A and B are shown apart, each in its own frame.
Chain A
């Protein structure tokens, strides 16, 4: 495609993930490299050049809208919506090596309120037991033990508000 020289000047790209997919994307003026594929593209902007409203990729026009929050980008593209995250390889590795057993933590699947703690810290649990109950949008969600063990960590009390992804308990 004759753009190898331009791309070579880009030292590194951005590694992004969406759902189960992952891509290394490198950008140079008018051309993007997705993995080992090179695609010519053109940005179509509105609102004084601020807002990206479409991308022409390899001659085809795709309407797009993007909104970014930190390392997360929400993308609407031709009628479908995707959430794309910047993959931070080093950080992810550091975090997983820090936790003794990554599978042991019970994470909040959504933001909500701790409604009830069924099994206090130090108690034994069997796989499938309800450890605590989370409430969000007036609905209750049972958080169950993924396996047999002892509740070694339980940072919250009944009534506490928690964020999505917060560690609710650990079972060892």
Chain B
């Protein structure tokens, strides 16, 4: 959807691809044309390089934009697209390869003079050598999958006794998820902040950064709230981190939109964590504060254009403050994915509010895809106003039928830590101990009115064997 909108603004004809089950999905009806990928699991549809290239041929497409999921960071796909004579609107395959393996990218960054998180040297070793490395680093440590991402295969180890089990589990998950069981260790930095820099290269010698995004509000090592600018950076640190981000992107000959992720420890030291060789989910907050369209820039660079003059001129100047809140279909305590049908969906709107949604009323939320339903982005003149605007917009959002993290998002924005700007990656765990506010009288009455509906002659929406036997008859 995000890409389709910009393409339409640029007068580019669009073709969506879709799996059989998604024939009614929003991205299908929003394109000029849609090509079916056939039935079956994602491995035979959205993850199938031949199926997608076939669809591109059928529709005589000129270029492929991979979005931000599925094959967006797949070097083989990038090469196949170019080999088929199509323009690839994404990172160069060599850069994807170089950054896709976390261990190799760490080594590469060290060589480029970019600081990296203290971690196991040489990486892939047996349990004994990794245990020795863990002692050297000092517990707690993180076990990470070399080929990983999104927190998969990652676990926190507090003491030596737990290391062996964590390594075995990490290898098993890594092998299943990425086809590569290599794991390594990193020193766990407590009360660290997760700050990333948007970078952009044009393949003509220009690499710039477009400021930072603060991504410390996480659960299960996945981001749920991001903001820019970060309250943790002063002008000097922003300049140093920006320079390091540009150096990192240059080191791999980067072209297009990418993100350099850093950890910032309580003492203000920063370390390279990883590079995402694609457009990030959270890119809209950068677009809002800089008044740019990153998808447009991706397409222009892929078509051979230089970066805009203003980007090359130097430090970008952010106007105001933007916050993104991610709506996930999940239970609010353990964050397990939830599925179901969205029975009611009313998006927030009004000044400074943008919603990028992939679902709507009637959408089926399945178990096979990422449970991210939508992103809410607010923009205001300063941080306090942006937080207020975010709270207002969250309160307008009606999502019924599937459990979501809406209440957690509300708790985050209402928390003293977030409002003060002084928070770290342990913010979400600290909020979970909060007691739930009681159900208001009006909600009980509304529920009772809805349950009475069948008495008034309206049939219940789903047949339920208990309803006939036990239903309330006044």
Contacts and interface: CB of A to CB of B under 8 A. Distances in A.
B394 A79 contact: yes
Interface stretch (A11-19, A96-104, A119-127, A148-156): A11-19
B345 to A, nearest CB: 10
A158 B394 CA distance: 40
A117 interface: no
B433 interface: no
A32 B441 CA distance: 10
B417 interface: no
Interface string B335-358: 011110101101000000000000
A25 B448 contact: yes
Interface residues of A, number: 60
Interface in B412-469: 436-453, 460-464, 466-467, 469
B447 A75 contact: yes
Contacts of B474: 10-12, 27
B337 A66 contact: no
A75 B451 contact: no
B407 interface: yes
A65 interface: yes
A25 B445 contact: yes
B464 A41 contact: no
Interface string A1-15: 000000000111110
B112 interface: no
A43 B442 CA distance: 10
Interface of A is mostly: strand
A77 B443 contact: yes
B401 A66 contact: no
Contacts of B126: none
A88 interface: yes
B173 interface: yes
B183 to A, nearest CB: 15
Given A10-B474, A67-B344, A109 B334 contact: yes
Interface stretch (B57-65, B308-316, B364-372): B364-372
Interface string A54-85: 01011000101111111101111111111110
Interface string B168-189: 0000010011000000000000
A111 interface: yes
A88 B469 CA distance: 10
B131 interface: no
B472 A16 contact: no
Contacts of A113: 367
Contacts of A76: 344, 398-400
A167 to B, nearest CB: 17
A159 B426 CA distance: 36
B396 interface: yes
B449 A52 contact: yes
Contacts of B400: 65-67, 74-76, 81
Nearest to B463: A70
Interface in A1-53: 10-14, 16, 18-19, 21, 23, 25, 27, 32, 34, 39, 41, 43, 52
Contacts of B344: 65, 67, 74, 76
Given A25-B445, A136-B367, 7 more contacts: A67-B343, A69-B341, A71-B467, A84-B444, A110-B339, A110-B367, A138-B177
Interface of A: 10-14, 16, 18-19, 21, 23, 25, 27, 32, 34, 39, 41, 43, 52, 55, 57-58, 62, 64-71, 73-84, 86, 88, 90-91, 109-113, 115, 136-141, 161, 164
- Interchain residue pairs A-B with the least CB separation, the first 8: A79-B395, A67-B343, A74-B400, A84-B447, A62-B442, A70-B464, A25-B448, A137-B337
7 contacts: A41-B442, A66-B449, A76-B399, A81-B406, A81-B407, A110-B339, A137-B369
